[in-house]
Structure formats: C-alpha cells, structure tokens
Amino acid sequence: MTDASSTTELLTAVRSWIAQDPDPDTRTELETLATAADGQVAEAIAELHDSFSGRLAFGTAGLRGEVAGGPNRMNRVVVSQTTAGLARFLIGRAQEGEEVSAVIGYDGRTKSDVFARDTAQILAGAGIAVTLLPRALPTPVLAFAVRHLRAGAGVMITASHNPPRDNGYKLYLGDGDGGSQIVPPADTEVFAAIDDVVATLRMDELERSDDYTVADESILDAYVRRTAGALGVPPVPVRWVYTPMHGVGWETVSRVITAAGITPPLLVEEQIDPDPAFPTVVFPNPEEPGALDLAYATATRTGAELILANDPDADRLAAAVPDGSGWRALSGNELGLILGWGIAQRMQREGRTGNFAASIVSSPGLRVMAERLGFGYQETLTGFKWISRVPHLAFGFEEALGYLVDPWKVRDKDGISALLAALEGVMGLRASGRTLSEFQDDFDAMFGNFASAQLSVRVAQLDQLTEGMRRLRADPPTSIGGLAVLSMDDLSAGSETLPPSDVLRFQLNEGARVIVRPSGTEPKLKVYLDVASETGSVLERRSHGRLTLARLREGASALL
C-alpha cells in the first residue's frame, strides 16, 4: 500500500468519525487536521494516525487519554459508545425483573460535566435507574455513593493526576463487587459489549433519555458525616497548609474538617479553585518536581508545621514536613507506613483484628509491621481494584500516594479520609508530647528501615513499553548496582496468590528488591527500588539504606 492510499483510507475514517461526532470542538479539531493531512502535512498525518490507530482501552484505572477526536482519544463518541456497552453488560448480568442502577460523578477537568451527562443519558436510555452527582466532586464521594446507594455500578469521569489535556472514565461495580473498581473477568465482558456497540451502531443510533435523577446534598452530607466521625482523638490546634492542586478537593475537605472540629488550614490560594488548565503546575501530580513549590512557599511564609495536598480528584494524599530550613515531601511509602502503623496501634488499643495490604510495588515494610504485630497481610497487584478486595481489610496502600484507611466506607483510595487520618496522627503525637520524627525513629527501631525510590522512562509509543519488557525477560541482569540478582519472578503467568500481570520482580542480596512494570495510566516504564535494613542502630540502618539505594538507582538507570 502506498503512503498516498494509506492517507486516503485514514481521511475516509476521519471524515466518517466527524459525521457522527456531536462535539463541535473535536469536530473542528479533526476537520483542521484532515485539511492539513489532505495537503500532505506530515505532522497532521502523524497526529491522525495516532488518534485512529486503535481504540482507547481500559488500563489499571479505566479509560484515560487526551481529550480530542478519534477512537484513540477521550471524547463524546468514545464515552457514549463505552457507556452503551456498559449498559448492555449491566442489563445482561441482572436477574430477571431486577432493577439495574448506576451513579455517576465527575471532577473539574475539561468536559468532565459533558461526559458525565452523556453517560447519564445513555444509561437512562437503556432503562437503567441513574443518579448523577449534583456538581464536580471528588472521586471518593462517587466511590462512597456506589455503596451508599447500593447501586449496581458507578462511573467517575476523571483523569486523576494525569496531564491537563487528559480525561478519563473510571468504572466501579456494586452488588457482589462491593463498590470496587472493575477486574477480570468482568472487564473482558464489558470490552466485548463495547466492541459490539461500535461494530453495530452509529452514535446517533444510541438511545438517550433525560429521565435520570440529579442527586441532592444527602450523599455528600453522608460522606462528610462518616468521614469526620472516624476521627479517633480529641482535636488540638495544628498549623497546616492545604492545596487541592487546582482540583475539586477543597469543598469536601473543608466540610469534613469543620465537622470534625479541626483547625482550618492555611490555603495555597493560587491553587484552591478548580481549574482544568492547572496553570501553576506542569503536571497536576503532587509527586512531580515543582508541584508543591507554592505549598512550600505558603508554609514557610506562615510558619506551618505540616503540608497536606490532594491530587485533582482528591483520591490521593501527599504530605511534606519541615526539613532544616526547607521542606521535605514524604514518599508514598513513608506516609503509607506512618498511617499503617498508626491504624495498627489504634486497632490494638480497641482490640480489633484485620488484614493489611499493599501492592507488590509498595514498601515491604507494611508486611513486616503487620505480621510482627499479629495482623494478617496480603500483597496484591497494582491498583486499588485489587487492594480493596482483600478480605477483612483494615488498611491498604500503594506507593503512588494512595491510601485506603476506611474500607467499611469506600472500596477505593480516599485522599480525604487519609488526610483526616494524617491529622489524627499528628494531633495524637502532640497530645502525647512526641513528634513525627520520633514516631519514625520508633518504627525503624522496631521493624527496620525501609528505603525506597522510583525511576521512570516516558516513551513516545506504547509498543516501546512492550519491547522494553521483552528485552528484560530475554536477557535478565545478573546484578544491579553491584548487588547480585538472586532470583527473577516473572508475573506474566501469575502466581499462587496473584493474577497474571506484566511485572518483573528481581530479588537481590543485602535486602534489596527491584520491580519493573509498564504504567497502567501513562506511557511510562516504571522501576521500583526497595531496600530493607534491620542491623545496627536507627542511624546505621538509615545510612545503609541510603547508600544501598544510591547504588540501586545508578544500576537501574544504566539498565534502562
């Protein structure tokens, strides 16, 4: 096939898509690109090839992609077709005569409200009882609503902490799934239903209805009441800074802390209102370099003692503490171990039992802590769709700033409940005359020091991720950073306790571990480095961890 005939076929597909696209913005973008491609503009041809090279597929957390035209992007056509397939799946698995219901939420990203309304209309058009949340609200509120309303499904329109141009579609299932995110084999069944819709129906043939309910304030009221009611210590004054990172967290956070009687925070005013352009950050992700700079400046100016930040849909939590004359962001693993030990201590005081859980790429320190204190522990694949399903779960986390501190309320990570738990920990330490630094010293003395770091390589094409993993499987390293590789676990076939996943785990000497996997939400190859040290004093353990981690980082960089 010649390049000219290939471009002709591409333009035919593009114009067919334009004819069924109800969104004037994406239609105009595609028409402009098509005109340029017709004139053999290479950049336009490349962009259209990428937009029409396949269909946006579900990853770790559902659909995510750039808001633009074409089947490989997030847009009204893809959202509507996806929702029509979801409707078929939900109706197909319902018992005869059973009412099928769903609840829909959305955040403040570009077209989130439009995609949410499309989702509501398509589900309602299929005869499903639909509740749409009243305005842009955090993802944890939607996850709560699925259980609170006993809905058969939940859809959250969000791209969480992805780049500003992105949006996404996160799917939860009720009933036997308990409000957790979708996992196999249900995901395969949903995909098949979507493919059937795409193959048989045009956009204008999808049934729509405005017969859905817009929720009142009772759902948010219930979430606030349940979250604030979990505070386990008397409130004491804390001078803290908060930022929602241009997202939707502040309204709900403010209501929760008011209900709990907690001192209001000092706000990063430049980031407090929802703004889909995220003007003060390159990436709206608290983990990214520079994302917390305004929070640091606010904390320094106001003499704060703690910084807490949510990502744009408020399902993640970041924290930073004073460090000399500046500030240091706690890693997701550090905060996870702090919250986990605090919850374990509270459970011991209250005589409760339960299981702790973390994803395979998160710190092994939680396992050590849980087992030594007599609690159960289970590792899972990456994603709270797995963590939330651990039986008798008491606490779960993953290193990407995700924490589930109240599994009886939601079955997903919840940055607002985690924020309250973090404040509870600080207030509890203050009441006992101790500091967070002393708390971390005690953890390292009792369980060992667990140091961790992460590397990632962003790629231009997703097939580069596949090639990178293939190369490592074909020619695995014998050492990394001068540390001998003792074993390699290839989880592509699964294990006794884990479903199949594209993950390689290398166990090294000196208590080190390296894990490599493609990201499920971004075009990145991610490498996780962990070191455990239980010999010597706390200072010696930390020194050994830092030195070994530096060797691992250098070795992993060379490997990539």
Q: From CA 96, how far away is CA 141, in angstroms rounded?
A: 30
Supply the DSSP string of 465-492, one letter for each residue.
HHHHHHHHHHS--SEETTEEEEEEEEGG
Type of residue at 250:
W
Residues 6+ apart with CB under 8 A from 325: none
Helix (H) or strand (E) holding 525: strand 524-533
CB contact at 8 A, 484 and 555: no
Q: Which two tokens stand for residue 161?
A: 């902490």
Sorted by sequence, the CB contacts under 8 Å of residue 479 that are 6+ apart come out as: 485, 508, 555
CA angle 51, 314, 431 (to 5 degrees): 155
* C-alpha to C-alpha distance for 315 and 296, rounded to whole angstroms: 21
State how far the alpha carbon of 515 is from the alpha carbons of 490, 496, 521, 525, in Å.
Answer: 10, 18, 17, 11
| Dist CA 329 CA 344 (whole Å) | 23
User: Measured between alpha carbons, how far is 239 from 266 in angstroms, rounded to an integer?
Assistant: 8
Q: Residues 160, 331, 359, 363: which is the catalytic one?
A: 160
- For residue 138, give Cα distances in angstroms to 7, 317, 472: 42, 12, 39
Q: How far apart are CA 384 and CA 401, in angstroms?
A: 12
- Which pair of structure tokens corresponds to residue 149? 């309303």
Q: How far are the Cα atoms of 46, 51, 178, 225, 402 from residue 174, in angstroms, in the given order?
A: 41, 33, 5, 22, 21
Instruction: Judge whether 417 counts as a catalytic residue.
Output: no
- Positive/negative CA dihedral, 324, 244, 268, 341: negative
Enzyme catalytic residues? 160
